[in-house]
Amino acid sequence: MQKMTDAEISAKLDGTAGWSLRNGKLHREYKFSDFKHAIEFMMSAVPGVDKMNHHPEWANVYNRVTVDLVTHDAGGITQLDFDLAALLEEGARKVL
CA-to-CA distance for 96 and 80, rounded, in angstroms? 24
How do 25-31 and 57-61 pair as beta strands?
Answer: unpaired
pLDDT band at 7 (very low <50, low <70, confident <90, very high): very high
pTM above 0.85, yes or no: yes
CA-to-CA distance for 13 and 9, rounded, in angstroms? 6
Domain 6-95 belongs in CATH node 3.30.1360.20: yes
Number of Cβ within 10 Å of residue 12's Cβ equals 17
Could you read off the pLDDT of 37-85 as tens digits, one per residue? 999 999 999 999 999 999 999 999 999 999 999 999 999 999 999 999 9
pLDDT band at 34 (very low <50, low <70, confident <90, very high): very high
